[in-house]
Chain A
C-alpha cells in the first residue's frame, strides 16, 4: 500500500506539470489582456510601464517558468517563514495578483474560510441527509418513501442552483423574511447573538447546495444498496438468524459504502472550488467569487494559481479515494 501510494504520488508530478502548462496556455491565449483594465486616458508610455511592472510583457515561456518557480519554491518558503519565523524567502518575488497587486495566496487564505463554512457545511449536510434516504429508499424499494425520494432527487439534480437559490430567496427572504438574502462576510462570531446571525445567513446557501449534493449522493447510495440487498450473502446473514437491523446495517451497508465513499471523496475538491454560481447568488465572498472576478479582470496569476490548486486537490483526492477503496474492500490489494 505504501509503495503504491508513493508510486502514485511520483506519477502525479508529470501529470500536474502538464496540467499547469495547459492551464497557463489556456488562460494566456484566451482573449482579453490586463492592459484592457487600464483606462484609455492613461498615456501609452505609462501603460507600457505598468505592464512591465507586472511582468506581463515578458515572453510566455519566461512567465511560465517564473510562475512554476514562484508556486513550488517561493510560496512554500513564505509559508515556512510564516510558520517558523525564519527568513528564507526574503527578497523573493511572490505570485502577485494583477488586479490588487497583493500576493495571490494572501487573498486565497482570506477567502477560504467563507467557502469552507458555506460550501463545506453544505457538503456535510448533503451527505448526512443523503445516506439515510438512500439506505431507506433501497430497503423499501418502490414504496411511497422511495418514490418521493426519487422525485425530489430528480428535481434537486436537474434544477440549477441559481434557480433554486432565487426561489428560496423569494420565499424565505422576501416573502417570509426569515433569513437574510445576502451573506455578510464581515460578520464575526463573538457571542450567542452573532452566532445565531451567522447560522441564519448560512441557512439558504447551505440548503441550496445541500439539496444538490444530497440528490446526487442519495442516488449512489440507493443504487449501491440495491446491488447488495439481493446478494446471496445477505440471505446467508438472514439464515444465521441475525436481527434485521444487523443484516442491513452491518452486512449490506458496509459493502454498499465502498463505491459511495469513493464518490464522496471525489466530491471534496469541489468544496474548495467553491460553488461559483451559488456564491454569486448569495453574495458569499468565497473562492468561487474570487475566481469569477479574476477571470473577468484577466488576472492571469490569480486564475492560474486557483485552477492549479483545484487540479492538485483533484489529483490528491483521487489518490485518497483509491487508497480508501483498498482499505474498505479486502478483495482489492495494491502491491
Chain B
C-alpha cells in the first residue's frame, strides 16, 4: 500500500503552511499576538486517494482545509495543487484555479444561499466559469442532481425545503459542477443524523470511484475516517502529530496523542468494549494563542519527558509512509531519554532539516 501510494502522482503538496489570526487589543487596537490555528503543517495528497484529517475540536482542522483552498489568506507556507501554487496566487489567477478545487461544507443549511433555488445554486459556478447555453446548463444541472440522487423536479425549490441529508447532497452537487479534481470535505457529516451520515459517505465514495476524485476528509468521527480514508493525519493544536496509512495508524498509533484519541473509539463488540482501556488525558488544552514551549502536547502527554517541554519535536518518517512528531520516536533522543534532554541547539537544527525535507 505505501509503495502503491508513492508511485501515484502527488496532487496536493502542502509545505509548512501557517495560518495565524491576529489578536487586537487595547485602546489603539494594537496587534498583541496571534491565534496560531495552523502552525507549520506539511503533507501530500496523492491523486485519487482520501486523506483523513482528524483531531479534537479547535485543533485547526477546518482552518487548515479552508486555508488550503485560499478561503483564508495563509500567513506563510506553500500549497501546490496539480503543480500550481495556490498560497500566493493573485486573485484572478486564483479564480481560474477554483474549478479544480472545491469544498463540501460542514453546515449544509447555512452554506447554501437561502434566496437561491437549488438549480441556481448548482448552476452558478457554470455561469462563472463556462460558456454553456441555457439548455446545456440545465442538462448539466440535472446530470449533477442525478449523480447525487436528487429528484430533477426539485431544481426550482429552495434549500429550506429539504432535509439535512438532501441539503448536503445539494452542497456536493454544487462542488462537483465544475469537474473538480480535489475536494476538501470539511466535516461533511458532522451536522447530520447518524442514519443519514452513511448515505452521504457512501455517496462521496461512489463519486470518488466514478470521477477519480481526491479528498481531504476532515472529521472528528474516527470510525467514519477509518471507513473512508486511505491515509490519516492526526492534528493537535495547529500541527500534525502523526500521519500514516490508515491501517498502520489504527492498529499501532505511535504518537501518544493519537493513542489517546484512538482509545476513545467505542468497540461494537460488548466483550471487547468492557476490556477497552481508555487513555484519559488530564490537564488543559493549551491556548492556540499561547502554545507551550516545546511539544504542543507536552502539557497533557502521559509519557512526557523533560526534553518535550524544551524542544519542538521534528516531523520525521519512522517507518515507510509513517510520520510522527514525537521525541519518543526520535532515535537521537529516545536513547538518552532517561538521562537528560538532548542539547537544544542540535535538535532545533534537526527540526529545520526535517521540515525543509
Contact = CB atoms under 8 A, between A and B. Distances in A.
Interface in A225-253: 231-233, 235-244, 246, 251
A138 B313 CA distance: 43
Given A232-B105, A241-B99, 17 more contacts: A232-B110, A233-B111, A233-B112, A236-B111, A236-B113, A239-B102, A240-B98, A241-B98, A241-B128, A242-B125, A242-B128, A243-B128, A246-B128, A255-B115, A328-B115, A331-B158, A331-B160
B114 A240 contact: no
B160 A251 contact: no
Contacts of A238: 71
A240 B110 contact: no
Given A241-B98, A255-B113, A330-B160, A235 B71 contact: yes
A126 to B, nearest CB: 26
A254 B96 CA distance: 25
B107 interface: yes
B115 A239 contact: no
Contacts of A235: 66, 71, 105, 111
4 nearest A-B residue pairs (beta carbon) = A241-B98, A232-B110, A232-B111, A330-B158
A38 to B, nearest CB: 62
B95 A233 contact: no
- SS class of chain A's interface: helix, strand, loop or mixed? helix
B185 interface: no
20 contacts: A142-B29, A232-B107, A233-B112, A235-B71, A235-B105, A235-B111, A236-B111, A237-B113, A237-B124, A239-B98, A240-B128, A241-B99, A241-B125, A241-B128, A242-B128, A243-B95, A251-B113, A254-B115, A255-B114, A331-B160
A235 B99 CA distance: 15
A327 to B, nearest CB: 11
Given A232-B105, A246-B128, A239 B114 contact: no
Contacts of B99: 241
Nearest to B124: A240
A200 B91 CA distance: 46
Given A239-B102, A240-B124, A231 B110 contact: yes
Interface string B90-112: 01001111110011011100111
Given A239-B102, A246-B128, A233 B113 contact: yes
Nearest to A244: B91
Given A232-B105, A330-B158, A331-B158, A239 B113 contact: no
A236 B114 contact: no
A188 B102 CA distance: 63
Interface of B: 29, 66, 69, 71, 91, 94-99, 102-103, 105-107, 110-115, 124-125, 128-129, 158, 160, 171, 174, 178
A329 interface: yes
Interface of A: 142, 231-233, 235-244, 246, 251, 254-255, 328-331
B15 to A, nearest CB: 22
A11 B197 CA distance: 47
B128 A239 contact: no
Nearest to A237: B113
Given A254-B115, A255-B115, A330-B160, A239 B124 contact: no
A246 B103 CA distance: 19
Contacts of B106: 232
B103 A239 contact: yes
A246 B125 CA distance: 12
B174 A236 contact: yes
B99 to A, nearest CB: 7
Contacts of A239: 69, 71, 98, 102-103
A221 B32 CA distance: 32
Contacts of A330: 114-115, 158, 160
A242 B124 contact: yes
Nearest to A330: B158
Contacts of B96: 241
A329 B114 contact: yes
Contacts of B158: 330-331
B160 A241 contact: no
A233 B71 contact: no
A238 B73 CA distance: 13
B103 A233 contact: no
B91 to A, nearest CB: 8
Among A235, A239, A246, A255, the one with the most B-chain Cβ atoms within 10 Å of its Cβ is A239
Given A241-B95, A241-B98, A236 B125 contact: no
A9 B111 CA distance: 38
Nearest to A252: B113
Nearest to B102: A239
Among B29, B95, B106, the one with the most A-chain Cβ atoms within 10 Å of its Cβ is B95
A242 B127 CA distance: 9
Nearest to B29: A142
A233 B174 contact: no
A244 B124 CA distance: 14
A242 B174 CA distance: 13
B351 to A, nearest CB: 34
A247 to B, nearest CB: 10
